[in-house]
């Protein structure tokens, strides 16, 4: 059966969550866990910024909107990759606002049958209103 | 004239390959993959505004646009996409009728050719085991760069039994795979119209440039 998706869901914000403030300790720990050695990511001080991939740890307060949960069997699935557009760097003391929207929902067929892909866009900004990152998180369900 | 008839760029959801990067690889590997051009077959979409003429001029390869769509008989490559075909079919629909696609694309000036027919579940071979054969199919992709062991071998029987022509494509989603399988045409091809005409009535064969 075709996916009975209401197109109005696309682009609509379904969650807005504020997290933080970010601490220097967690930025350093995150970078070191990656094996990062560059001082701008691993040494506390005025020059410290978050490693660029730090932005993927933010997922907002709700993974999917209610409408999608009724439409797709989300009991099984896996992370199918991310596209990240980086903005201003995250710094210690920043609070992070995460706005979640459904960016895209589509179907495709592969070797193992039909699949549904959901792309949730997380738009991250700091307390100064600067865009930190736009993360398109792709998840596959069948 | 050798063309890779099946590959995906970063416009497809499952590829991150820039078109220019494909051309750079082909330029560098010309001795082992002597291609003259590529045909981009993005998944479930066709954008008539795409224009790669600047890249053609810079690298000296022919670059044509087609599409890979999904049907009740598996995936199908559509060449010669035009406004009439786009008005007739919603390429994002993963349940297109393969018979309608083959018949109507031909009527509207293009050609629709099943791809990776040996692939389990979504290939034409498995569909033919359960359903009547399609009418009007001209050729099938007998060499696909993404096939698993044995999948292309299954296509030989299909070609023999139904008299289909055979073509090849890399199905590349990664830059380094461009041109590993392709199609050699006897006649020159300079445009999509030429390609459609040759695929319908010309002489061509799949060629394999994978390392043995």
How large is the ipTM?
Answer: 0.70
For residue A114, the distance in angstroms to the closest alpha carbon of chain B comes to 9
Task: Name residues of chain B where pLDDT drops below 50.
Answer: none
pLDDT of residue A1 exceeding 60: no
Task: Tell me the torsion sign for CA atoms B11, B12, B13, B14.
Answer: negative
pLDDT of residue A123 exceeding 70: yes
CB contact under 8 A, B94 and A108: yes
Whether A118 and A64 have beta carbons less than 8 Å apart is answered as yes
For the stretch A59-98, pLDDT in tens is 899 999 998 888 888 888 899 999 999 999 999 999 999 9
Q: What is the pTM of this model?
A: 0.86
Which residue is it, tokens 């045909």? B39
For residue A141, the distance in angstroms to the closest alpha carbon of chain B comes to 15
Closest CA to B192 of B40, B84, B74: B40
More confident residue, B95 or A1: B95
CB contact under 8 A, B122 and A110: yes
CB contact under 8 A, A108 and B44: yes
Which residue in A109, A111, A117 is closest to B13 by CB distance?
A: A117
For residue B121, the chain A residues in CB contact (below 8 A) are 109-113
pLDDT of residue A117 exceeding 80: yes
Return the pLDDT at A38: 97
- Alpha-carbon distance A46 to A59, whole Å? 27
For residue B44, the chain A residues in CB contact (below 8 A) are 106, 108
Query: The domain spanning residue B137 has which CATH number?
Result: 3.20.20.140
Mean pLDDT of A138-142: 91
For residue A83, the chain B residues in CB contact (below 8 A) are none
Residue window 27-46, chain B: list those with CB within 8 Å of chain A.
Answer: 43-44
For residue B193, the distance in angstroms to the closest alpha carbon of chain A comes to 29
What is the residue-wise DSSP string for B67-136? EEEEEBTEEEEEES--HHHHHH--TT-TTB-HHHHHHHHHHTT-EEEE--TTSTTTSHHHHHTTSPPPSS
pLDDT of residue A19 exceeding 70: yes
Return the pLDDT at B120: 86
- Please, what CATH class does the domain formed by A8-22+59-141 belong to? alpha beta
CB contact under 8 A, B70 and A117: no
- Alpha-carbon distance A11 to A123, whole Å? 12
Local structure of B54: helix, strand or coil: helix
**Structural domain tally of chain B?**
1
pLDDT of residue A113 exceeding 90: no
Mean pLDDT of A33-54: 97
Alpha-carbon dihedral of residues B58, B61, B66, B68, nearest 10 degrees? -110
- Alpha-carbon distance B109 to B113, whole Å? 13
Whether B100 and B107 have beta carbons less than 8 Å apart is answered as no
Tokens linked to B118 = 């040996």
B18-35 burial: b if 16+ Cβ within 10 Å, else e: ebebbbebbeebeeebeb
Q: Which residue of A has its CA nearest to B119?
A: A111
The rounded Cα B181 to chain-centroid distance in angstroms is: 11
CB contact under 8 A, B121 and A113: yes
For residue A108, the chain B residues in CB contact (below 8 A) are 13, 43-44, 70, 94
CB contact under 8 A, A109 and B75: yes
Which residue in A2, A107, A109 is closest to B122 by CB distance?
A: A109
Whether B108 and B84 have beta carbons less than 8 Å apart is answered as yes
CB contact under 8 A, B94 and A112: no
- How many beta-carbon pairs below 8 A join chains A and B? 28
B88-109 burial: b if 16+ Cβ within 10 Å, else e: ebebeebebebbebbebbbebe
- Alpha-carbon distance B85 to A14, whole Å? 37
CB contact under 8 A, B13 and A107: no
* Averaged pLDDT of chain B: 96
CB contact under 8 A, A138 and B70: no
Neighbours of B139 (CB within 10 A): 20
Q: Which domain holds residue B101?
A: 2-208
CB contact under 8 A, A108 and B95: no
Return the pLDDT at A2: 63
pLDDT of residue A102 exceeding 80: yes
Percent of chain A beyond pLDDT 70? Answer: 99
Return the pLDDT at A32: 97
For residue B94, the distance in angstroms to the closest alpha carbon of chain A comes to 6
CB contact under 8 A, A108 and B93: no
HEC profile for chain A?
CCCCCCHHHECCEEEEEEECCCCHHHHHHHHHHCCCCCHHHHCCCCCCCCCHHHHHHCCCCCCCCHHHHHHCCCCCEEEEEEEEEECCCCCCCCCEEEEEEEEEEEEEEECCEEEEEEEEEEEEECCCCCEEEEEEEEEEEC
For residue A114, the chain B residues in CB contact (below 8 A) are 94
Return the pLDDT at A124: 98
B157 Cβ contact list (under 8 Å, min separation 6): B125
**Residues across chain A:** 142
Q: Which helix (H) or strand (E) holds B53?
A: helix B53-59
Whether B47 and B11 have beta carbons less than 8 Å apart is answered as yes
- Alpha-carbon distance B120 to B98, whole Å? 17
- Alpha-carbon distance B56 to B50, whole Å? 13
Which residue in B43, B44, B119 is closest to A111 by CB distance?
A: B119
The C-alpha angle B178, B180, B186, rounded to 5 degrees, equals 100
């Amino acid at each position: 059966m075709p996916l009975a998706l209401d197109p109005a869901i696309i682009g609509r914000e379904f969650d807005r969550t504020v997290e933080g403030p970010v601490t220097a300790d967690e930025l350093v720990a995150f970078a070191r866990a990656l094996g990062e050695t560059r001082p701008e990511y691993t040494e506390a001080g005025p020059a410290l910024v978050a490693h660029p991939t730090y932005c993927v740890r933010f997922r907002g307060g709700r993974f999917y909107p209610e409408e999608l949960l009724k439409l797709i069997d989300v009991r099984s699935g896996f992370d199918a990759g991310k596209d990240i557009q980086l903005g201003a760097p995250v710094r210690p003391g920043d609070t992070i606002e995460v706005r979640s929207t459904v960016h895209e929902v589509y179907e495709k067929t592969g070797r193992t049958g039909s699949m549904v892909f959901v792309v949730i866009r997380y738009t991250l900004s700091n307390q100064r209103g600067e865009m930190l990152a736009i993360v398109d998180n792709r998840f596959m369900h069948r | 004239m050798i063309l890779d008839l099946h590959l995906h760029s970063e416009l497809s959801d499952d590829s991150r390959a820039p078109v220019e990067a494909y051309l750079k690889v082909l330029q560098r590997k010309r001795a082992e993959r002597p291609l003259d051009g590529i045909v981009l077959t993005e998944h479930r979409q066709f954008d008539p505004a795409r224009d790669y003429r600047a890249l053609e001029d810079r690298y000296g390869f022919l670059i044509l646009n087609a599409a890979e769509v999904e049907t009740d008989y598996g995936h199908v490559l559509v060449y010669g996409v035009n406004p009439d075909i786009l008005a007739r079919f919603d390429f994002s629909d993963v349940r297109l009728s393969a018979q309608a696609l083959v018949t109507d694309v031909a009527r509207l000036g293009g050609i629709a050719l099943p791809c990776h027919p040996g692939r389990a579940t979504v290939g034409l071979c498995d569909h033919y085991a359960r359903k009547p054969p399609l009418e009007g199919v001209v050729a099938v992709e007998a060499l696909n760069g993404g096939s698993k062991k044995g999948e292309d071998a299954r296509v030989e029987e299909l070609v023999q039994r139904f008299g289909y022509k055979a073509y090849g494509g890399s199905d590349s989603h990664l830059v380094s795979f461009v041109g590993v399988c392709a199609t050699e045409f006897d006649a020159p091809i300079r445009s999509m119209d030429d390609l459609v005409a040759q695929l319908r009535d010309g002489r061509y064969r799949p060629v394999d440039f994978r390392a043995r």
